[in-house]
Structure 1
């Protein structure tokens, strides 16, 4: 097994792509590449390659992930995306995330609870929209459904509170105001039918 070529990653100048016997083998940080005394035409054993992939690279990925996590709490999906953009291989990322989960650095259930609670307090949205946002963060559906069941949010009451707060001083019988109210609620993930029900309810109560 011989290193036949080395390329700089398009994602990061600090990551190098190493090719062995003409085929891509692994990515490695420039720093680790130098410290391990790697170079083109150097011979490596299978044990050398496994050590680089499963120890050196996982350690580097964990370090990069912890640095990213130090800014604020992140989901496993966000960490995966960040490391992937930095040029780490998928199997290395998965192993690094698994180890960080075991260490308590990453916890999607805790992340989802905080995300939902913050949304409810600061920017309420429909259950459907909350689920979509969490899915985009890479949270598993099982965790999302569990967290949303804990919250037990009533979409109609949330929508009613939002409209009352934002459009309370306006006449919702006015077509222009009503159109803005529909757009506002649909933008927060509420269905047209629910928006119509809430708006008509406010009009009748007035």
Structure 2
């Protein structure tokens, strides 16, 4: 019983520092506690609303989509943060779509890409770089063409 109390306090301490997903909290707690105790501690913080994966996903999407492509942020939520697809879909419906053209233009500036002076190779490299960052092909091409004109 003493160990359960410590696990609950640890969970609260971890959530006090920053918001976490259920999977992140479970991972942190499982380093020091048995699975049954971790389950009980997670159930405890959930009952008070201290942990909410949907809320976390909405906040994460709003903040990260200002600097990263939406697809990249969604992948982070699914695979790094442990958010389920259903919860992610709900969160995506709650947040408004981000105009990624601005982000692409920022990357173009950061990479010192000048459309007037760029060679085919430089254009290809920037295109592939942006694709790896999760931007859609049509958005990238639209921005590259806008700059060419």
Q: TM-score range by the shorter chain?
A: 0.7 to 0.9
Greater fraction strand? 1
Structure 1 residue runs of 5 or longer lacking an equivalent are 1-54
**1:178-203 C-alpha deviation (Å, 9 max, x unpaired):** 2332233223223xxx33x3343234
**1:58-99 C-alpha deviation (Å, 9 max, x unpaired):** 2211111111112111111111111112x2111211111011
Greater fraction helix? 2
Separation (CA, whole Å) in 2 of partners of 1:91 and 1:63 = 16
Task: Decide whether the 8 Å contact of 1:126 with 1:188 is kept in 2.
Answer: no
Q: Name which one, 1 or 2, has greater alpha-carbon Rg.
A: 1
2:13 to 45, 49, 67: 67
Task: Decide whether the 8 Å contact of 1:163 with 1:181 is kept in 2.
Answer: no
Equivalent in the alignment of 1:179: 124
Separation (CA, whole Å) in 2 of partners of 1:66 and 1:101 = 11
Query: What are the equivalent positions in structure 2 for 1:91-130 lying under 5 Å apart?
Result: 91-121=36-66, 123-127=67-71, 129-130=72-73
TM-score under structure 1 length normalisation: 0.61
Seen in structure 2, the aligned counterparts of structure 1 residues 107 and 204 have a Cα distance that, compared at 3 Å, is closer
Q: Which has the higher contact order (CA 8 A, sep 6+)?
A: 2
Shift of 1:101: 0.7
Q: Does 1:153 align with 2:94?
A: no
Seen in structure 2, the aligned counterparts of structure 1 residues 204 and 103 have a Cα distance that, compared at 3 Å, is closer
Seen in structure 2, the aligned counterparts of structure 1 residues 203 and 184 have a Cα distance that, compared at 3 Å, is closer
Equivalent in the alignment of 1:134: 77
Task: Decide whether the 8 Å contact of 1:75 with 1:139 is kept in 2.
Answer: yes
Structure 2 residue runs of 5 or longer lacking an equivalent are none
Equivalent in the alignment of 2:139: 198
Separation (CA, whole Å) in 2 of partners of 1:103 and 1:204 = 52
TM-score under structure 2 length normalisation: 0.81
Aligned-residue RMSD, C-alpha = 2.2
